Chains A and B, each alone.
Chain A
Amino acid sequence: SQQGEEDPQALSIQEGENATMNCSYKTSINNLQWYRQNSGRGLVHLILIRSNEREKHSGRLRVTLDTSKKSSSLLITASRAADTASYFCASYQTGANNLFFGTGTRLTVIP
Chain B
Amino acid sequence: NAGVTQTPKFQVLKTGQSMTLQCAQDMNHEYMSWYRQDPGMGLRLIHYSVGAGITDQGEVPNGYNVSRSTTEDFPLRLLSAAPSQTSVYFCASSYRQGASYGYTFGSGTRLTVV
Q: Which of B33, B41, B45, B106 sits near A42, CB closer than 8 Å?
A: B106
- Specify which chain A residues have a CB less than 8 angstroms from the CB of B33 in the assembled complex: 98-99
Judging by beta carbons under 8 Å apart, are B42 and A88 in contact? yes
Query: Which residues of B, 57-114, contact A by the 8 Å Cβ criterion?
Result: 58-59, 90, 92, 97-100, 102-108
In the assembled complex, how far is the CB of residue A89 from the closest CB belonging to chain B, in whole angstroms?
9
* Residue of chain B at shortest CB distance from A6: B42
In angstroms, Cα B104 to Cα A42, docked, is 9
Q: Which of B48, B99, B107, B108 sits near A31, CB closer than 8 Å?
A: B99
In angstroms, Cα B59 to Cα A86, docked, is 22
Q: Given that A48-B102, A50-B99, A98-B48 are known contacts, is A104 also in contact with B59, CB under 8 Å in the complex?
A: no
- Specify which chain B residues have a CB less than 8 angstroms from the CB of A98 in the assembled complex: 33, 45, 48, 58, 97
Interface of A is mostly: strand
In the assembled complex, how far is the CB of residue A68 from the closest CB belonging to chain B, in whole angstroms?
19
Give per-residue flags for A74-111: 1 if the beta carbon is below 8 A from chain B beta carbons, else 0: 00000000000000101010000111111110000000
Judged by a CB distance under 8 angstroms, whether B54 is at the interface is: no
Q: Given that A1-B59, A2-B59 are known contacts, is A42 also in contact with B102, CB under 8 Å in the complex?
A: no
- Specify which chain B residues have a CB less than 8 angstroms from the CB of A3 in the assembled complex: 41-42, 44
A-B contact pairs, 10 of them (CB 8 A): A3-B42, A35-B105, A41-B107, A43-B43, A43-B92, A45-B104, A98-B33, A98-B97, A100-B45, A104-B42
